[in-house]
Structure 1
Amino acid sequence: MAEPGNLAWPVLSDELRVPDDVLANAYASINDVERSWIKKNIAQLYALHPPAGTDRASTRTRWNGGFATTSTRLARPWACLVYPEFPKSRSASGCLSKSLAGSGPAGVAAALVPVMTAGITDILTILHPSALRSAHLLTTLELCGLENVYAVTGEAMPKELNALVAREPAGLILDMGGLASHDPLSTEAFHRAMVWRPRLSGRLRIWCAAPDQWDWSTLEWNHPRARIEAWGPCRDAAPDHFLQVDGNWDAFRRLPGALGVDADMLHAPDLSGVWGLPGDGLILTPGQEGCWYWPDLDPSFVCFQNGMALADSR
């Protein structure tokens, strides 16, 4: 992981910084099992996104066609994760307005760790103030080692993001949904910034093949914004406040969103031919309820500035 950079924090107003004791109290308020889930997720993400080893490279190549290229690769100077307003409660149907599977604690770690291991030196998080209610989210930031955490209202986010790009324009913004209604990123000031938005879905569908197969509590606190649906022959094993869907396997696998299936279903030699599981998106199995991964987050693309110079070599 890269050493801390020299962007001269705080770029944002120090009045917006979340005090250390708020993060510490959040950490202390959740139990050991929940903390172990967060640590497991982070450990897996480090294995999936090992440190890049170098944060800059330049390669010159002479081609037979009479030209030469110089390719450059440089880690972006900063990254900012923007987190949306936190939901107040889950309805009796298990559905939340503007629900987003993957935008909870596990998904936040899955967005941050690849950035941390890519060599980006300065990383901060901008939370909607309502997100301070989530001890699991704050503990995730604490365990990821995030020291620059700010609470900013949606109306003020454009101003604070402009302060970042004014200091250094080529940063990375991880938008977990916080800019949906206050999106400043189409302005010219952000033309050199990279913006990554995950493919968020309102659904997390779980196939229940046996009783007591899934850790529903861990699924719930990791996906507070999602509509978690229980499908399959043992769907009545899910808590009453989750939506139980009387649908068949074909309907289950074809709808959008992340899936939860038994691990045995992954052992087929051809997922698409035997079980009909989709080839894209994320599939969780029992034992991974507190974990996440973004298949469409490619650190080599989003975390680096890639350039190319063309020249005649004759």
Structure 2
Amino acid sequence: MRNPSFSFPDWVGDLVPDDELFARAYTDISNRNRAWMKTGIARLHDWYGPRKATRTTMALRWRSGFDSRQVAEAVDFAVVLFDGSLLSPSRLLAALIPAIAVGVGNVLAVRVSSGTPWRKAILTGLELAGQELVVDMSELQARRLFGELRETNRSGAVAVLGPRAAVIKTNELQAASRISFWRPRYTRAAAIWMEEADTFDLEALAFIHPDIVFSVFGVEPELPAENFSYEGDGFDNFLDAIMEVAYVPADRAEQTLGRARIVFGPGQEGCWIWPDLHPEHFQYQSVAWTAGE
């Protein structure tokens, strides 16, 4: 049974940014952009939970003559590890909120950096999500953290976002049988179909994903930032341009799903989901098979 007394090493608390940094970031983000982030957070909570039970047991007797017992419980800790290349609050929260929704009691958000300034939207997104334990670490400190976590022999789950953060996931850590790792595989590019000039709020997308390259098709709109380019009005060309992520009106979503892993309609500009990040990643699974009576 999970030991409720787990806590992260004491020295981690010394690396939490000052409250004033969060306060200034929150104040500098407009109400409209905070509303977009709140919508994304609400969607993730709807999708993943929240779950009322942190431990479930399923016992079965099989016709072939054996009994099984399966236990799933929230891991002792979860760490979301990211680096300065991640500028999107929604993509970060899409890796964080599943752990909260599953009921993990100890969740830590770690930015691996060399002391570079925080993006205000990242800090505000974490605050809106209710994530209290947020730290800034060097690579050396992050390696120390995971070394100490591995030595506890406690169950844990880690989500890794960004190439610099991924360096921490060494072979030694992957061999820790009670700590599971997840890392997304995706290209930072998205295609947008504009049925009308205002089908999507492009300003919102520019705020939420300043690090994604957007290719815009359909009606030519005013582009909000340098990471947007207009590519023409052909829908077939739009479909061909999709790599993994697409933004389309609801009536075109079905035909787009076959081309894209992630499809968002109007009103979902502040949202993100990692389709292969499942609640089970944040649970410790155990199974027993015994001879039936």
TM-score bracket for the superposition, by shorter chain length: 0.7 to 0.9
Instruction: Give distance in 1, aligned partners of 2:197 and 2:35.
Output: 24
- Which structure 1 residue ranges, 5 or more long, are not aligned? 88-102
- Secondary structure in 2 aligned to 1:229? strand
Count the aligned residue pairs: 286
- The RMSD of aligned alpha carbons is 2.4
The answer on whether the counterparts of 1:253 and 1:277 sit within 8 Å (CA) in structure 2 is: no
157-166 or 284-293: bigger deviation: 157-166
- Secondary structure in 2 aligned to 1:110? helix
**Pair 1:112 & 2:99 matched:** no
- Secondary structure in 2 aligned to 1:64? coil
The answer on whether the counterparts of 1:61 and 1:68 sit within 8 Å (CA) in structure 2 is: yes
Report the Cα offset of residue 172 of structure 1: 0.6
Instruction: Give distance in 1, aligned partners of 2:77 and 2:175.
Output: 16
Instruction: Give the 3 Å change call, closer, same or farther, for CA 237–124 of structure 1 in structure 2.
Output: same
The alignment's TM-score, normalised by the length of structure 2, stands at 0.87
More strand by share: 2
**Pair 1:304 & 2:283 matched:** yes
Deviations 1:144-176 (A, max 9, x none): 111111101235422222222223442010111
Alignment equivalent of 1:287, drawn from 267, 270, 280: 267
The answer on whether the counterparts of 2:256 and 2:263 sit within 8 Å (CA) in structure 1 is: no
Identical counterparts, % of pairs: 26
Alignment equivalent of 2:231, drawn from 245, 255, 277: 245
Counting only pairs closer than 5 Å after superposition, residues 103-252 of structure 1 correspond to structure 2 as: 104-129=88-113, 132-177=117-162, 178-187=164-173, 190-232=176-218, 234-239=219-224, 241=226, 242-246=228-232, 248-252=234-238
Partner of 1:258: 245
**Pair 1:31 & 2:18 matched:** no
Partner of 1:93: none
- Secondary structure in 1 aligned to 2:49? coil
- Secondary structure in 1 aligned to 2:204? helix
Instruction: Give distance in 1, aligned partners of 2:221 and 2:150.
Output: 50
The answer on whether the counterparts of 1:253 and 1:278 sit within 8 Å (CA) in structure 2 is: no
Deviations 1:77-128 (A, max 9, x none): 11110112237xxxxxxxxxxxxxxx71111222222211111110010013
Deviations 1:271-314 (A, max 9, x none): 2xxx3542652111222111112222210x21111111111124
Report the Cα offset of residue 54 of structure 1: 0.9
Report the Cα offset of residue 225 of structure 1: 1.8
